[in-house]
Amino acid sequence: MAGREKEYRWYRTGCERMGQVPLDEAAFEARWQEYEDHAEKLKAAETKQSLSELEAERRAEMQHRLKSDPFVQAVLIGMKEDEFAR
């Protein structure tokens, strides 16, 4: 994995807390990369002040997924738990 061990650990912790079966590392990596690519596009568009040029439909879809995707929720739960463990 490309330096995403911590994120995968967060994800697995979140899945455990949510009672869901986690993706394997390869599937996690692919899903994570999809979100990371989208974030990079947003940053680039913001830097160029061309955010409105990005496909509005794709942006809306990704926003919805970020809010409702159990994958994202699992990562956030794992992150929070990791914070409290320190």
Per-residue pLDDT tens digits of the chain, which is 86 residues long: 457 999 999 999 999 999 999 999 999 999 999 999 988 888 887 777 766 666 777 778 888 888 899 999 999 999 999 888 77
Indicate the length of the chain as a whole number.
86
Cβ pair 75, 14 in contact under 8 A: yes
Domain membership of residue 57 as a residue range:
5-16+24-85
DSSP-assigned states of every residue in 59-80: HHHHHHHHHH-HHHHHHHHHHH
CA separation for the pair 78, 74 (Å, rounded): 6
CA atoms within 13 Å, Cβ hemisphere of 19: 0
- Residue 3: its pLDDT value, please? 77
The pTM of this model reads 0.80
- Residue 25: its pLDDT value, please? 95
Domain count, the chain: 1
CA separation for the pair 43, 37 (Å, rounded): 10
- Residue 47: its pLDDT value, please? 77
